[in-house]
């Protein structure tokens, strides 16, 4: 990455944090960096492995929690009991960070993608059930693994 690009990235990260009323700290910058420099979602373990040398496990937990609360990232449920986190699009705001795209988990490479252009379908529920939020996770083979 060029020096210019790195500079841009850092500026972007700082303004993202400030917009959410968060102070700009080293661990937050580092973790946001991880999300920005990759397409898929990250599991807690991934982040700990990539940032863990420098930061305490607890800090990673707390940072992710804060980011979720502020609507910077969102969680993706999976069947294997390992929450994944992914960046929210800019429209997301605190407390309202479920937007309506679906998620795709590749059964080959195990990457998780937000398919931002695929909206969750309307689901017709039986009488008496009232939907508040619909979560769709598709498992299959991704673009790169075919």
Partner DNA sequence: TAGATTTTGCAACTATGTTGCCTTTTCATA
Partner DNA sequence: TATGAAAAGGCAACATAGTTGCAAAATCTA
* Site residues, a copy of itself (CB under 8 A): 75-79, 81-83, 102, 104, 107, 115, 117-118, 121, 123-143, 146
Cβ–Cβ under 8 Å, residues 86 and 67:
no
Whichever of 62 and 96 has its CB closer to DNA, that residue is 62
Closest C-alpha to 97, from 67, 62, 120, 130: 67
Closest C-alpha to 68, from 100, 46, 97: 97
Least Å distance between CB 5 and a copy of itself? 27
| Residue 100 binding target from a copy of itself, DNA, none, CB below 5 to 8 Å by type | none
Secondary structure of residue 85 in the 3-state scheme: strand
Which residues here bind DNA, judged by CB under 7 A? 17-18, 22-28, 44-45, 54-59, 61-63, 65-66, 81-83
């Amino acid at each position: 990455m060029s020096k210019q690009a790195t500079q841009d990235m850092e500026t972007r990260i700082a303004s993202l944090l400030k917009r959410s009323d968060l102070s700009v700290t080293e661990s937050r910058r580092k973790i946001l960096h991880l999300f920005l420099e990759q397409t898929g979602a990250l599991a807690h373990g991934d982040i700990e492995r990539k940032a863990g040398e420098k930061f305490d496990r607890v800090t990673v937990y707390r940072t992710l929690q804060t980011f979720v609360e502020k609507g910077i990232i969102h969680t993706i449920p999976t069947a294997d009991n390992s929450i994944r986190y992914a960046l929210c699009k800019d429209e997301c705001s605190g407390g309202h960070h479920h937007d309506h795209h679906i998620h795709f988990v590749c059964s080959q490479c195990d990457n998780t993608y937000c398919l931002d252009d695929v909206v969750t379908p309307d689901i017709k529920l039986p009488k008496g059930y009232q939907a508040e939020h619909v979560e769709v996770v598709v498992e299959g083979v991704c673009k790169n693994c075919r």
